[in-house]
Chains A and B, each alone.
Chain A
Amino acid sequence: MTTSNGDNTPAPAPNGGELAQQMNEETKKKYTKDRKVGEGTYAVVHLGHVKSTALPVAIKKIKLSAMVDGISMDAIREVKFLQELRHENIIRLIDVFSSKNQNLNLVLEFLDSDLEMIIKDTKIGFGGADIKSWLAMSLRGLWWCHKNFVLHRDIKPNNLLLATNGQLKLADFGLARSFSDPYRAMTSTVITRWYRPPELLFGAKSYSSSVDIFSLGLVFAELLLRVPFLPGDSDVHQLRLIATALGTPTEQNWPGVTKLPDYVIPNTEDIRPEQGSLFYGETFRTLTPEGLTLLMSMLRLDPRKRWSAKQCLESEWFKEEPTPTKPELLPRKGGGKGIEKVGGDLKRRAGWDEGTDVAELEGHRGRKVARKLDFGGK
């Protein structure tokens, strides 16, 4: 709003304090911290509430003094994108303020569980209608990101947080970046390995929104199987799993793949064609044909053939019976344990729980440079 007080036309300073400082103080005063729910070297997460309305919030305090090169890239990214994106299915950054000792405080909406918790909790049962509902909400959040030309680049179940009213929210934009500009090299070591699409494993430096779709497709599969679908323990292993489960990438099913920087030639006897509905039908027995089509289209090897978020949402599967569960009726797990878990999620640095080389992330070559594998022929 251009004229609301407190935004950009503050009341005149009462005693000559710097305007910027003053606005910061005013913002800080709106919130109180209640208790700590997560702590790490990168950030501390407190549960708190808005003083005037008692609305619960999570206050993530990022310790900038721990940073080596000034404000770190993922703090910048997170603040930058969350400030601009406003959508029901994206975590809401309510406010930002700084405190003494160079700390950045993000006031986020309060969420007390995530999809990973629900999947892993054997006491919680959920069915097709629930999966539809979660997938639809994730797709909507993703669609909005892409509409704003932002790639999330870290889609996985514990970055899909759940609110008390059942709404699913995309969180953790520490690896996000804007896309679509040509001739801008992008890093390929993003997205947690188990959810990383093949083009990134092959070192592509120019990619697009389809990377997020692939990750979400794997989350979809995980919801159906209740275990991670492709848990590789190295990049090579991950590629092998993809080849086994989804098909080996070749020039036939993916024109141009051999030109990717880290493309690996498979052994000729291991070449499997890209899987079709038969395979999917056998692995995911509970899906209807429309559902199988959707899953397949999200997991196509060639990123150009994958569906966009909008196309996914327009799939017939969502309109079939059973219709998606209303968010407020979805199975939940909240309360104390949930809050602690989400506190733990929020305090992590983007992509760090995997030993990702942050230096590589920040753009320069780190220790873990992807090696070209030599299978004996080329």
Chain B
Amino acid sequence: MDDTIYSTSTQHRLFTFTPKQLSDLRYATNKAAIEKITESIKRRAVAAGIVESEIEEIDCPTAEEELKLVAYYCVKCMQLSDHFQFPSNVKATALTFLHRLYLTTSTLTLHPKKLLLPILYLATKTENHYTPIKNFIATAATAGPKVTKEDLLDPEFTIAMGLRWAFQVWHPFRGLEGIFLELNAIASGRYQPPKPKEHLVLPATEAKVALLELLAGDTDRIGRAHGEARRLLTTTALLTDVYFLYTPPQISFGAFLEADRELATFYLDIKFPETDVPGRKTKMKLLDVLDEIAKNHLSAGLSEDLKNPYQGLLLQLPQNGITTSLSMSVDPTLVKEVTRIDKKLYRVTKRDQDSAGKKKAEEWNGSGSQSGTGSGNGIGRYDEDEERRAKKRRLEREKAEREGDVFGARLPDVKTAGAGSF
């Protein structure tokens, strides 16, 4: 029954994928955006008189490059959040929003740099961590970026739409606390097993003894494991794809497993005792999944050189050259790579603008894009309509002149009435 509640959550319904689905989605988003911008640039060029075959090559970032860029800015977002000293749920929510947004939005449409603060602000709202906007702006200024109220609020709608209005994010933090509540209860001999499993589990006193044996006098071990697991959850986990691929309790347990494998295994044996034969299959599968999380995503030993367990799939892994930790993010080669991608992005989006720097006509609903003219509530569209009508009138006039009839053009047939204006 508990699983029912989880399965109706938006996190599960809308933002949980298999590795392949996740990868496919990223490629699809990238492809769609490239098609759109290529077409737009070509149209502009042709309108400006350039022959199609002579249009300079349009060099768009690949899906891999986009992901590197997003991952890099995620780290920046994390650093910003720490600067504001927001609680971990606000930070985690902001990062999750950022990851989710770029599943269906491409950097070609919205540059992550302009969205870090708006997303952070939105996260304070959805997590009920009220921050008056003035204070927010003031604190942001001390971190570097000068930002106005419009900069924060204008992209909100676009962001929310990209998030499909699903604001509830389930984090693994409380789950981790729950695990340690029980572990500490075992340590003090006061653990009570759930009713259905009572007869299968070691009685409390025995469990305590077993645990103390394991600890072998190292009473701080539980606290350290707790701390390490929590650190993994508030840093590394937020820079990987675990939120998309696994459920929150699996992430909590996975972090625990990575922090202290022996202790975690002990706890799992208590919760899923060997004597519970029908549950064995589930337990085995669970252990596999947790292992995956620990080894493939959270392990400190991950690096570019290791074998890629998700070969060919576009996931956030160091094997794909994507930063998954704060330390990695300051690696000079990575920074150079990101700068290169950023430049590429800038070049290509710049081409998709009028020479006057006006926003491209197809832009909709005020997003903080490169050209930065804040609120674009359909202004672009209006201009386009006007342009079209004006052009039509001009063409009509020219045609009439060409006909050369002093009395005006031939009267239109009944069928084509409406082509001219009354």
| Interface members, chain A 74-116 (any B CB < 8 Å) | 76, 79-81, 83-86, 96, 98, 100-102, 104
Q: Report whether A19 and B104 are in contact in the complex, using a CB–CB cutoff of 8 Å.
A: yes
* Residue interface bits B18-33, CB-to-A below 8 A is 1, else 0: 1001001100110111
Q: Which of B2-10, B260-268, B289-297, B386-394 makes up part of the contact surface? A: B2-10
Chain B: CB-nearest residue to A96: B165
Chain B residues with CB under 8 Å of A73's CB are: 125
Is B167 close to A, CB under 8 A?
yes
Q: Given that A13-B32, A70-B152 are known contacts, is A84 also in contact with B125, CB under 8 Å in the complex?
A: no
Is B133 close to A, CB under 8 A?
yes
Q: Report whether A16 and B161 are in contact in the complex, using a CB–CB cutoff of 8 Å.
A: no
Chain B residues with CB under 8 Å of A337's CB are: none
Q: Report whether A13 and B35 are in contact in the complex, using a CB–CB cutoff of 8 Å.
A: yes
Is B234 close to A, CB under 8 A?
no
Q: Report whether B157 and A8 are in contact in the complex, using a CB–CB cutoff of 8 Å.
A: no
Chain B residues with CB under 8 Å of A2's CB are: 16-18, 21
| Interface members, chain B 336-382 (any A CB < 8 Å) | 364-365, 377-378
Docked pose: A363 CA to B136 CA in angstroms: 14
Chain A: CB-nearest residue to B38: A16
Q: Which of B13, B164, B378 contacts A1 (CB 8 A)?
A: B13
Chain B residues with CB under 8 Å of A80's CB are: 126, 166-168
Is A20 close to B, CB under 8 A?
yes
Total number of A residues with any Cβ neighbor in B under 8 Å: 45
Chain B: CB-nearest residue to A363: B130
Q: Given that A69-B133, A100-B378, A101-B377 are known contacts, is A83 also in contact with B166, CB under 8 Å in the complex?
A: yes
Q: Which of A17, A178, A364 contacts B132 (CB 8 A)?
A: A364
Is A349 close to B, CB under 8 A?
no
* Residue interface bits B175-199, CB-to-A below 8 A is 1, else 0: 0000000000000000000000000
Q: Report whether B128 and A178 are in contact in the complex, using a CB–CB cutoff of 8 Å.
A: yes
Docked pose: A84 CA to B6 CA in angstroms: 9
Docked pose: A65 CA to B161 CA in angstroms: 15
Is A18 close to B, CB under 8 A?
yes
Chain A residues with CB under 8 Å of B122's CB are: 70-71
Q: How far does the Cβ of B409 sit from chain A's closest Cβ, in whole Å?
A: 36
Q: How far does the Cβ of B26 sit from chain A's closest Cβ, in whole Å?
A: 10
Is A21 close to B, CB under 8 A?
yes
Is B206 close to A, CB under 8 A?
no
* Residue interface bits A1-39, CB-to-B below 8 A is 1, else 0: 111000111101101111111011000000000000000
Q: How far does the Cβ of A289 sit from chain B's closest Cβ, in whole Å?
A: 32
Q: How far does the Cβ of A372 sit from chain B's closest Cβ, in whole Å?
A: 23
Given contacts A70-B122, A79-B167, 4 further A-B contacts (CB under 8 A): A18-B36, A69-B153, A70-B153, A84-B10
Interface of A toward B, CB cutoff 8 Å = 1-3, 7-10, 12-13, 15-21, 23-24, 64, 69-71, 73, 76, 79-81, 83-86, 96, 98, 100-102, 104, 147-148, 177-178, 184, 362-364
Interface of B toward A, CB cutoff 8 Å = 5, 8-10, 13-18, 21, 24-25, 28-29, 31-39, 103-106, 109, 121-122, 125-126, 128, 130, 132-133, 152-153, 156-157, 160-162, 164-168, 364-365, 377-378
